[in-house]
Amino acid sequence: MSKRGSGRHGEFPPPPEPLAVPVLDSHTHLDLMFETPPEAGGPRTVEDALAIAAAAGVDRLVQVGVDVASSRWGVDAAGKHRQIVATVALHPNEAPRLSDLDGALHEIDTLAADPRVRAIGETGLDTFRTGPEGFSAQEKSFRAHIEIAKRHGKALMIHDRDAHADVLRVLDDAGAPDTVVMHCFSGDAAFARECVARGFVLSFAGTVTFKSAADLKHAAAVTPVSHLLVETDAPYLTPMPYRGRPNASYLIPLTVRGLAEAAQTPVDELCAAISATGERIFGPW
């Protein structure tokens, strides 16, 4: 999701029933969550966000960068809080807006060397918000991020909106890193099979709980549990029954339970598998 502003309305939802087996939030934007108005309630500091999430059974967070400033913010937060690891990147929709794309990519490459940075992303392609005139810059940036991930030996976190075929085309052509995460997976069962065949991990957000998400549920059902992650993309994509309100890591239990139903896997078993996959991809916290 691209900066700036939460785009959410109303108050943060109440905490759900905690998970019995802890799990991670594989994709969140804490810096954006704190931009929600004070009247929305919810956590106002990193410490509060971590404590509230831990009480819900969410004990680890992946803080995701979308530009140079947010990437620096994430590296700093991960250095101060053991529960957080960071990713760094230029969001696909940022690339066409930059007057010095090469300079920004150099900054991301430099940040990628930090040991608290565990993935490069979110990067990829987005034809929903960026028109044809920006596509060449998006693809140039995407290819550069792939090389940064391979050079530093870190996972690649993909943003793919209305660009399934082109994302696979670029990854196949450039040569994907050993570890690829499809952030906020938005494809159907056929696309899920294509991704899993390449060894990719699919991260599901609150959208999997929506009534209109039949394709996502089918995708989850055909994906091996070992290839699943769960995320908030907070403050966006709040799961049902709170769709449209601000999201935060403490709401992961709602998404996990929806994903477990779709994947026909007991919740505790799914949480254990997700935690193991998270450690495999992002390393120890």
Task: Kindly report the CATH number assigned to the domain that includes residue 176.
Answer: 3.20.20.140
| 113 belongs to a structural domain | yes
Residue 95 placed within a domain = yes
Q: Rounded to an integer, what distance in angstroms lies between the CA atom of residue 201 and that of residue 50?
A: 25
Show pLDDT as tens, one digit a residue, over the chain (285 residues).
Answer: 444 444 567 899 999 999 999 999 999 999 998 888 888 888 889 999 999 999 999 999 999 999 999 999 999 999 999 999 999 999 999 999 999 999 999 999 999 999 999 999 999 999 988 888 889 999 999 999 999 999 999 999 999 999 999 999 999 999 999 999 999 999 999 999 999 999 999 999 999 999 999 999 999 999 999 999 999 999 999 999 999 999 999 999 999 999 999 999 999 999 999 999 999 999 999
In contact, 170 and 196? CB cutoff 8 Å: no
Looking up tokens 């994903």, which residue turns up?
259
**What is the C-alpha to C-alpha distance for residues 157 and 127, in angstroms, rounded to an integer?**
17
- Would residue 14 count as lying in a domain? no
Residue 216 falls inside a structural domain? yes
In terms of DSSP bridges, do strands 58-63 and 23-28 run parallel, antiparallel, or are they unpaired?
Answer: parallel
d(CA 283, CA 184): 20
**Do the annotations mark residue 159 as ligand-binding?**
yes
Tokens of 79: 């250095």
Residue 6 placed within a domain: no
Total number of domains in the chain: 1
Q: Is 279 annotated as a binding residue?
A: no
Domain membership flag for residue 16: no
Is 109 among the annotated ligand-binding positions? no
Residue 102 structural domain: 23-282
Q: Is 122 annotated as a binding residue?
A: yes
Q: Does some domain include residue 242?
A: yes
The answer to the question of residue 1 being in a domain is no
CA atoms of 265 and 285, how far apart (whole Å): 26
Known binding residue 183? Answer is: yes
Question: Which residues have CB under 8 Å from 206's CB, separation 6+?
Answer: 232, 233, 237, 238, 239, 240, 243, 247, 251, 254, 255, 258
